[in-house]
Every structure is written in C-alpha cells, then in structure tokens.
Amino acid sequence: MTAASAVPPAATVLVCVTCKSAEGPAGAALYNALEARLADEDIALRPVECLSVCKRPCTVALAAPGKWTYVVGDLSREANVEDIVTAARRYAAAPDGLVPWRERPLPFRKGVISRTPPLAPALTR
C-alpha cells in the first residue's frame, strides 16, 4: 500500500524485524522481501520489535479492525514469502478474518501460535 487513505487496509501484516536465526537477522530479511512483494496490494506491512514468540522465528501477525488477529511463527524469507502473501490476501477477503483451515497455506495451519478475537465496541458508562 503506497498512498495514505482514510479507509484502513483490509489486512495488516506485522513482521517481527528482531527475530534472528542461526544465519542472522531473519526477521528484517523477511520484512524486506515482503515490502517489495506487497507494494501493490491493499495490504499494509508494519515492522514490529518482538511479538514475544522469539523461540519460533520468524514471527508475523495478521490484523485488521473488526477482525480476529493471528500470530504465526516458524516462517522464513527463503520458504514462506508467497505463503504469507496468500494468507494475507485470504485474511483480507474474510470479513471477520477467519479463513477456513483448508484454505490457509500450510505454514498458516501448522504455525499458528495464537488467535485473538476482535475488540468489541467500547462500552459506555
């Protein structure tokens, strides 16, 4: 996504850029690969420093207003950029963010660490 807009993107991919592998700064490398790949999509990309799943690098989250948030680990630039793009597209198309299990790329079936429901509207007192 390149232009600022009042309408939020249908999905945001949050990438932990501090995840490290034996080879080095794996999270930053994954982020850089996704930045080029998602440039023309209605999917935002946001770097974050640690999603508290440091033992399962690389870690990403899929989030959007009114949708479930998913945290997924065990991803890499070398093997999973297209899986992340596919998962983000399907997440973006799902009104509540719930993508049927069979429609998820394999790493998004096996690597889910958590899912969190959307926040309800704030209650008034």
- Using the rule CB under 6 A, which residue among 16, 38, 75, 85 binds ligand FES? 16
Each residue 42-61 as x (binds ligand FES by CB under 6 A) or -, in order, gives --------xxxxx--x-x--
How far is 41 from 37, CA to CA, in rounded Å?
Answer: 8
Of the pair 10, 108, the CB lying nearest ligand FES is at 108
- Taking a C-beta distance cutoff of 8 angstroms, is the pair 63, 12 a contact? yes
Angle at CA 89, nearest 5°, toward 55 and 37?
75
- Taking a C-beta distance cutoff of 8 angstroms, is the pair 29, 77 a contact? yes
b/e burial code for range 94-120 (CB count within 10 A of at least 16 → b): beebebeeeebbebbeebeeeeeeeee
Size of the site for ligand FES (CB under 6 A): 11
Residue 28, interface with ligand FES (CB under 6 A)?
A: no
Of the pair 16, 85, the CB lying nearest ligand FES is at 16
For the bound state, the minimum distance from the C-beta of residue 110 to ligand FES, rounded and expressed in Å, comes to: 17
How far is 29 from 42, CA to CA, in rounded Å?
Answer: 21
For the bound state, the minimum distance from the C-beta of residue 25 to ligand FES, rounded and expressed in Å, comes to: 10
Task: From 14-22, 34-42, 79-87, 89-97, give the range in contact with ligand FES by CB under 6 A.
Answer: 14-22
Residues engaged in binding ligand FES (CB under 6 A): 16, 18-19, 27, 50-54, 57, 59
